[in-house]
């Protein structure tokens, strides 16, 4: 099976890889190619979500987690966001449109409490202007508008508890 | 000890509550935890001998609720309370209420806390004892007085809240034109934070180090200092990494700072553990900053280089024991570094990241100590400070301690929430940190630099391979086929193996 | 160091392989693990930078296979090999083969190992240097000679295998009538175990202590001793608990033992880390027993009281560095105790208990070090020694170290396999252990006593309640409803709460 | 629901308890009685197989495991074997007959290799006489006959690998 994989480092650098894994009759992987290059690979799942990889003799202990943003892979202290696509599937790239066209959501980057709505519905805002302030762990964080426009909708009242990923406002 | 406490209540949560529970256990004293509604499953509740609910998540209703905490102490039969740090630890009113309730507060007296609690009143007591201060005013100032003092000491100057701490109500002023608006905003911020708008002025020290001295005083007049801690690696005036000894303090400077710290403590009739903070300029002059009248977060680095246990000693002192050693018996050996592991995202404005820790693998082995308040599966609540754990490395030399900490960070894995682990790797490999060239602005400057992306090169490819393998095998979440003692060579749910030889067939 | 190794292969498994990998990482040297078929998922494979398979589970085919290990070293480009303890660590032939292959053996020379490997040849070298020996013969004896020597030193006497260790080929003989059968059985046991049936005789010391001295010698003629370790708590001649310092050794005795140990090492041209073992009688006379030409299992207690890292030093010495300190720089501080955690059932004849560790919660916090070779979910193979991990406690005093170890044992939880954790709790609370009244027969006597059942009283009831709750809730195996960051107050899958007040309704 | 529970300490001391847990309408336990005595109880499953109990204010962290022998409960370093019976069920006590009547099995107490059969089929043995030697982790262990009798059956050959609980021999 072939996977198209985008790996993004914590610093934001994204890199694309094409990984081909071929299974033999016994279900074991008999071939591993990365961007066309064949590699000696030995993998063992040692704990739930923890993989021991031996690649060309080098040993890696790899942890895997899921969050609202997708799958993360941790390797000796570094964490990468990974986006795995099976090119044969019809599912489009999950990446959300990145431009400033159309309505844009402001989502909560963490669980917390809404402590202040800076720009109520109907307010005209600039890109980067604060819209909502949420608080968690004794820290207040201002969520900013991703584009210039009008606050179309505020989904949360002051004092409300929100979860990571909740859409708090829509800017149009 | 004959009059040792019968039971100790810990008026705190998180790693420090666990730390104190462990000390109680080691001393044979039953411990009592208190917990808010969101902390029922917290580690400190599980580790203590007893545990009682004290109300809703909001700290004001639980961990800051003096009445409820004293009621639990009475109900459980605790005759002493350890306040940890934060929460009620520097609240003189609480210390007073404990005394009234006949419960020993493990810390200084309310009177000593009050003297140190107000920066200006502390200054009066210290100046008389000859403690060096940053040039400036020794009390709250009117705006007109502020203008005069600032001219006298020379710009740039710092405005500071007299009742403050943690950076609130502080303003750096470069020229007289900026003074008025800074004075007003500092005053109103101070009012909001500390119920007192008093501000004072100090000469601004460019690129200072923050170095503090641990003191320990018994209730019989003995006071010792236990070396210093370098705490210059800060973000928003919050310490991020601490170490002992300081790379810049030699024997002679340690002696002078230590003796000054003891003088500070004695001038306020201080007892139990406390920390005297100094600003140190580039010529290694040190100036008294403030005294923290509690156990510090970073006390483990002092424990590792002195070989002492500060919490045991706090409890012994509070029970009336004399210090079991003298200044000359204190030997410093080796080097210790602490990293404060927070649930926050260093790649996204250091936003807090509460939530469930779905996986947790902690480092161990030679020279590694971990003081943790969390466990795998624990949901870090959004209601409190984001500190998860303190990771401390000890080694014979500073270089080795840095290398050891890097090794430990490599072993550390947390998933489900974001943490600042990657930040430490970056700091510890920064040339200025390695050279010991530290000041309180160092971290902000480093964060403004573009991180070197070179390091990731190799591991991104490995991450891609791992992701493909996880995708190929469903999710790899269950470690299925291991039937108890049976499958000695089949510990893993599955194994894959692709050899290049295979390709040649 | 300019001529530091480029890569180190670790010819071992388990906790010691992990220990050495960590040291390599801290020193910036890439590490190479080797593994047998049943160890593919072992911790040392996961922690090392590189890992290569070396064959089937049987040690003879893998971890003892000199040819395969040297082939991996060559293939991986390793220029040094750390042998750990056990396996090939005291095999002079292996040290020789490394030298021939141009790979540095991190340990003494083959020549020094050979001198120490035979007890009788070691004795010749030592006697010349004035090292004290237990009265007896200094070489293998015929039966007739044995009769003579036994008469001369007086019964009871010990028969020992000249090439032996670990208790094999040893016989205690109380009277001449028993000598013949003991001589024959010791000889044949020695033949089987060591390929040499040579036995010698020593005066039997009643209730001796086993105390050993750590030495460290560089390749430039410097040799230091690093205090002693008390290893008298033994079962079947295997150490169970070790500590440093010994409760019975004072400064003067430490100086005499240390100087003797250095003399022993120097008489054999010894280099790198080694341990000189002594028997100590009730009058505190000490007698040379043997020298172990490797890193000992129990080296961490020495590291904690000296503040040094022995594996770093081993590697530096092997790379040609001079010792970075002198004897006068060695400071001992505090007290350290080590427990060897084994997969064995102390309640059922200490039967080994390999299998899958379904749960593992390890202790941490102040003064606790854990050197482990396992992890949760790992299936402990049945093919090797049952040691899982070493738990080490450090504290300012022996009493505190004991209390701290008890605290750590309380925190330790392993399920799926049996371990000897409960045994340590029993030993550490035994009056003789607490009083420091130790000898090599102490543990056997303790095991013959009826354990006090009093302790269990309360906890049996709690176990019953817990069992009922688990039964009521199906199995409690899944921690189901926690949806990532959402359910901050619902970390647990379920909660129950029954209040007495409820009953009154 | 009422449970009859036998708790056996590592030292072999067995104690019986009757634990009654009553659930309210919301599924929560409203009442806990041990041997008739009502207790204030608060329980939370903090990790798979790990329970935090608060009983009359006292805190216990309890671990649970299963093995061939049944359920084990660990509390601050002590491990207990527990046998839980619901008295309403018809299932008899699982305890195996303890006397010396009838055929008796010798079972492997641990995984290992059979290194020697000391008493082949047909051999007459005394109670306590060695029958089979198995080896694991460099230690040999002699398995002894539980009664005087004749070795009726040996199920394992020398060199065979066995699992914990396997019946290796029958003595009649």
Q: Report helix, strand or coil for C96.
A: helix
Q: Report residue C404 as tokens.
A: 């701290």
- Provide the CA D95 distance to its chain's centre, in angstroms: 9
Give the dihedral of Cα atoms D57, D53, C401, B2; nearest 10 deg: 10
Q: CA-CA distance, B457 to B113, in Å (whole number)? A: 53
> Which of B357, B361, B346 lies closest to B380, judged by CA?
B357
Chain C CB contacts of B372 below 8 Å: 364-365
Q: Maximum CA pair distance of chain A?
A: 63
> Which of B469, B496, B427 lies closest to A62, judged by CA?
B469
Yes or no, beta carbons of C459 and D76 under 8 Å apart: yes
Say if CB A79 and CB B373 are below 8 A apart: no
Whether C487 contacts chain D with CB within 8 A? no
Interface present between D and A (3 or more CB pairs within 8 Å):
no
Label residue D105 exposed, middle or buried (CB < 10 Å: 0-12, 13-18, 19+).
Answer: middle
Over residues B419-427, the mean pLDDT reads 94
- Name all contacts of A89-94 with Cβ < 8 Å and 24+ positions apart: A94/A70
B488 pLDDT more than 50:
no
Backbone angles phi and psi of A31, in degrees to 5: -150, 140
Q: Is the dihedral of CA B156, B162, B165, B167 positive or negative?
A: negative
Yes or no, beta carbons of C459 and D53 under 8 Å apart: no
> Which of B10, B126, B13 lies closest to B78, judged by CA?
B10
Q: C280 to chain D, minimum CA–CA distance in Å?
A: 29
Q: C196 to chain D, minimum CA–CA distance in Å?
A: 21
Residue of C31, C489, C493, C501 to mutate when probing chain B, most B C-beta within 10 A: C489
A79: β partners: A74
- What tens digit of pLDDT does each residue of A89-147 get? 544 344 434 456 678 888 887 788 888 899 999 999 988 888 998 888 877 888 888 88
Burial call B107-144: b when 16+ CB within 10 Å, e when fewer: bbbbebbbbbbbbbbbbebbeeeebbebebbbebbeee
| Nearest CB to C40; choose among A44, A48, A57 | A44
Q: CA-CA distance, C427 to C456, in Å (whole number)? A: 16
Yes or no, beta carbons of B307 and C333 under 8 Å apart: yes
Yes or no, beta carbons of B491 and C410 under 8 Å apart: no
Q: To the nearest whole number, what is the mean pLDDT of chain B?
A: 90
Say if CB C360 and CB C374 are below 8 A apart: yes
Yes or no, beta carbons of A45 and B422 under 8 Å apart: no
**pLDDT given at position C124:** 76
- Confidence bin at B452 (pLDDT 50/70/90): low
Residue of B38, B358, B485, B488 to mutate when probing chain D, most D C-beta within 10 A: B485
Say if CB B502 and CB A31 are below 8 A apart: yes
- pTM of the prediction? 0.87
- Confidence bin at A19 (pLDDT 50/70/90): very high
Say if CB B268 and CB B232 are below 8 A apart: no
Say if CB C255 and CB C282 are below 8 A apart: no
Q: DSSP for A19-88, please give it.
A: EEEEE-TTS-EEEEEETTEE--EEEEEEETTEEEEEETTEEEEEEEEEETTEEEEEETTEEEEEEEE-TT
Chains that touch B (3 or more CB pairs under 8 A): A, C, D
State the complex-level ipTM.
Answer: 0.85
Say if CB C316 and CB D73 are below 8 A apart: no
Q: Report residue C394 as tokens.
A: 């450090």
Label residue B66 exposed, middle or buried (CB < 10 Å: 0-12, 13-18, 19+).
Answer: middle
Chain C CB contacts of B365 below 8 Å: 18-19, 22, 369-372
Catalytic residues of C: 294
**pLDDT given at position C479:** 35
Q: Which of A155-159, B459-463, C217-221 has the lowest mean pLDDT?
A: A155-159
| Nearest CB to D58; choose among B49, B375, B484 | B49
- Confidence bin at B487 (pLDDT 50/70/90): very low
Give the dihedral of Cα atoms C324, C330, C335, C341; nearest 10 deg: 30
Chain A CB contacts of C485 below 8 Å: 68, 110-111, 163-164
Chain C CB contacts of D140 below 8 Å: none
Chain B CB contacts of D67 below 8 Å: 484-485
Q: C317 to chain A, minimum CA–CA distance in Å?
A: 27
Q: C334 to chain A, minimum CA–CA distance in Å?
A: 34
Q: A32 to chain B, minimum CA–CA distance in Å?
A: 6
**pLDDT given at position D102:** 78
**pLDDT given at position B76:** 97
Interface present between D and B (3 or more CB pairs within 8 Å):
yes
Chains that touch C (3 or more CB pairs under 8 A): A, B, D
- What tens digit of pLDDT does each residue of D110-165 get? 788 888 899 999 999 988 888 998 888 877 888 888 888 999 989 888 888 888 77
> Which of C20, C41, C15 lies closest to C30, judged by CA?
C20
- Beta-carbon contacts of B257 under 8 Å, excluding residues fewer than 6 positions away, are B211, B213, B225, B228, B249, B278, B286
Residue of B20, B21, B26, B341 to mutate when probing chain C, most C C-beta within 10 A: B26
> Which of B273, C227, B183 lies closest to B265, judged by CA?
B273
| Nearest CB to C382; choose among D19, D76, D137 | D137
What is the 3-state secondary structure of C322-377?
CCCCCHHHCCCCCEEEEEEEECEECCCCCEECCEECCEEECCCCCCEEEEECCCCC
The secondary element (H helix, E strand) that includes residue D141 is: strand D139-144
Backbone angles phi and psi of C362, in degrees to 5: -105, 150
Yes or no, beta carbons of A52 and C485 under 8 Å apart: no
Yes or no, beta carbons of B484 and D44 under 8 Å apart: no
What residue spans of B87-175 are helical by DSSP H?
Answer: 92-100, 110-117, 119-128, 143-153
- What tens digit of pLDDT does each residue of C295-339 get? 999 999 999 999 999 999 999 999 999 999 999 999 999 999 999
Q: Which of B171, B294, B340, B404 is catalytic?
A: B294
Q: A30 to chain B, minimum CA–CA distance in Å?
A: 4
Q: Percentage of chain B surpassing pLDDT 70?
A: 91
Yes or no, beta carbons of C485 and A57 under 8 Å apart: no
The single residue listed with the structure tokens 């370098």 is B230
Over residues A61-89, the mean pLDDT reads 82
Q: C111 to chain B, minimum CA–CA distance in Å?
A: 31
How big is the CA angle at C354 (ends C351 and C356), to the nearest 5 degrees? 140
Yes or no, beta carbons of B40 and D48 under 8 Å apart: no
Yes or no, beta carbons of A163 and C377 under 8 Å apart: no
**pLDDT given at position B316:** 98
Q: CA-CA distance, B361 to C17, in Å (whole number)? A: 19
How many other CB atoms are found less than 10 A from the CB of residue C71?
Answer: 14
- Beta-carbon contacts of D171 under 8 Å, excluding residues fewer than 6 positions away, are D103, D104, D105, D106, D125, D131, D145, D146, D147, D149, D150, D151, D152
Yes or no, beta carbons of C498 and D30 under 8 Å apart: yes
Over residues B239-247, the mean pLDDT reads 98
Whether B77 contacts chain D with CB within 8 A? no
**pLDDT given at position C451:** 65
Say if CB C31 and CB C71 are below 8 A apart: no
DSSP state of B37: G
Instruction: For residue B79, give Cα distances in angstroms to B48, B70, B110, B313, C204.
Output: 16, 10, 17, 17, 55
- Say how many residues make up chain D: 172
- Confidence bin at B197 (pLDDT 50/70/90): confident
| Nearest CB to D15; choose among C345, C351, C460 | C460
Asked if residue B245 has a cis previous peptide bond (ω within 30° of 0), the answer is yes
DSSP state of A91: P
- What tens digit of pLDDT does each residue of C47-84 get? 999 999 999 999 999 999 999 999 999 999 999 999 99
Chain C CB contacts of A163 below 8 Å: 485-486
**pLDDT given at position A86:** 72
**pLDDT given at position C484:** 28
> Which of A92, A118, A112, A115 lies closest to A164, judged by CA?
A112
For B408, nearest residue in chain C (alpha carbons): C22
Q: Report residue A31 as tokens.
A: 């071939």
Over residues B224-234, the mean pLDDT reads 98
**pLDDT given at position C80:** 98
B169 vs B489, which has greater pLDDT?
A: B169
**pLDDT given at position C492:** 35
- Confidence bin at B503 (pLDDT 50/70/90): very low
Q: CA-CA distance, C137 to C150, in Å (whole number)? A: 9
Low-confidence ranges of chain C (pLDDT < 70): 1-2, 119-120, 138, 165-166, 451-457, 474-505
Chain C CB contacts of A42 below 8 Å: 40
What residue spans of C244-335 are helical by DSSP H?
Answer: 251-267, 299-306, 310-318
Q: C69 to chain A, minimum CA–CA distance in Å?
A: 15
Yes or no, beta carbons of D52 and B484 under 8 Å apart: no
Q: Maximum CA pair distance of chain B?
A: 90
**Cα atoms found within 13 Å of the Cα of residue C15, Cβ hemisphere only:** 24
| Nearest CB to C407; choose among B26, B334, B490 | B26
The secondary element (H helix, E strand) that includes residue D120 is: none
Yes or no, beta carbons of D76 and C478 under 8 Å apart: no
Q: To the nearest whole number, what is the mean pLDDT of chain A?
A: 83
């Amino acid at each position: 099976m072939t996977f198209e994989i985008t790996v993004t480092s914590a610093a934001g650098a994204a890199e694309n890889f094409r990984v081909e894994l071929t299974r033999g009759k016994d279900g074991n992987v008999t071939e591993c190619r990365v961007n066309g290059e064949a590699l000696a690979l030995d993998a063992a799942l040692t704990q739930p979500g923890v993989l021991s990889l031996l690649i060309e003799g080098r040993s890696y202990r790899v942890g895997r987690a899921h969050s609202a943003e997708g799958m993360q892979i941790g390797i000796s202290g570094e964490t990468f966001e990974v986006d795995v696509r099976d090119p044969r599937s019809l599912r489009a790239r999950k990446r959300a449109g990145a431009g400033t066209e159309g309505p844009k959501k402001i989502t909560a980057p963490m669980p917390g409490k809404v402590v202040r709505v800076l720009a109520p519905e109907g307010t005209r805002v600039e890109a980067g202007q604060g819209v909502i302030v949420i608080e968690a762990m004794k820290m207040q964080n201002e969520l900013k508008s991703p584009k210039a426009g009008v606050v179309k909708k505020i989904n949360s009242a002051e004092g409300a508890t929100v979860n990571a990923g909740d859409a708090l406002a829509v800017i149009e | 000890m004959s009059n040792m406490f019968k039971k100790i209540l810990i008026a705190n949560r998180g790693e420090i509550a666990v730390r104190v529970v462990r000390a109680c256990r080691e001393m044979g004293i039953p411990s009592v935890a208190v917990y808010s509604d969101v902390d029922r499953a917290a580690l400190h509740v599980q580790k203590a001998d007893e545990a009682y609910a004290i109300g809703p998540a909001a700290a004001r209703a639980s961990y800051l609720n003096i009445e409820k905490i004293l009621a639990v102490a009475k109900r459980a039969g605790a005759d002493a309370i350890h306040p940890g740090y934060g929460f009620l630890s520097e609240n003189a009113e609480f210390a007073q209420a404990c005394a009234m309730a006949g419960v020993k507060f493990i810390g200084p007296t309310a009177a000593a806390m009050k003297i140190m609690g107000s920066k200006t009143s502390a200054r009066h007591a210290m100046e008389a004892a000859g403690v060096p201060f940053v040039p400036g005013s020794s009390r709250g100032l009117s705006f007109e007085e502020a203008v005069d003092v600032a001219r006298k000491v020379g710009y740039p100057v710092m405005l500071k809240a007299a009742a403050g701490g943690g950076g609130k109500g502080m303003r750096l002023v470069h020229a007289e034109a900026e003074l008025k608006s800074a004075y007003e905003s500092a005053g109103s911020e101070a009012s909001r934070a500390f119920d007192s708008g008093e501000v004072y002025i100090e000469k601004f020290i460019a690129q200072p180090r923050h170095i503090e001295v641990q003191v320990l005083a018994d209730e019989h007049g003995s006071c010792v200092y236990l070396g210093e801690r370098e705490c210059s690696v800060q973000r928003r005036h919050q310490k991020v990494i601490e170490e002992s000894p300081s790379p810049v303090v030699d024997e002679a400077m340690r002696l002078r700072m230590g003796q000054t710290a003891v003088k500070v403590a004695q001038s306020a009739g201080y007892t139990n553990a406390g920390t005297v903070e100094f600003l140190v300029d580039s010529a290694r002059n040190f100036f008294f900053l403030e005294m923290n009248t509690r156990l510090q977060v970073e006390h483990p680095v002092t424990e590792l280089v002195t070989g002492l246990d500060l919490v045991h000693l706090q409890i012994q002192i509070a029970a009336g024991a004399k210090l079991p050693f003298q200044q000359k018996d204190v030997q410093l050996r080796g080097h210790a570094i602490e990293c404060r592991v927070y649930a926050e995202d260093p790649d996204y404005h250091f936003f807090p990241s509460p939530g469930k820790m779905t996986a947790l693998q902690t480092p161990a082995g030679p020279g590694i100590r971990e003081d943790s308040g969390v466990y795998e599966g624990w949901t870090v609540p959004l209601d409190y400070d984001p500190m998860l754990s303190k990771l401390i490395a000890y080694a014979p030399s500073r270089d080795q301690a840095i290398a050891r900490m890097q090794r430990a960070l490599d072993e550390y894995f947390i998933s489900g929430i974001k943490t600042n682990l990657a930040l430490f790797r970056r700091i510890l490999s920064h040339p200025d940190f390695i050279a010991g060239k530290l000041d309180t602005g160092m971290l902000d400057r480093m964060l403004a630099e573009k991180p070197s992306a070179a390091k990731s090169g190799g591991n991104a490819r490995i991450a891609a391979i791992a992701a493909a393998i996880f995708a190929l095998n469903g999710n790899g979440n269950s470690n299925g086929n291991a039937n108890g003692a049976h499958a000695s060579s089949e510990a893993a749910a599955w194994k894959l193996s692709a050899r290049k030889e295979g390709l040649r067939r």
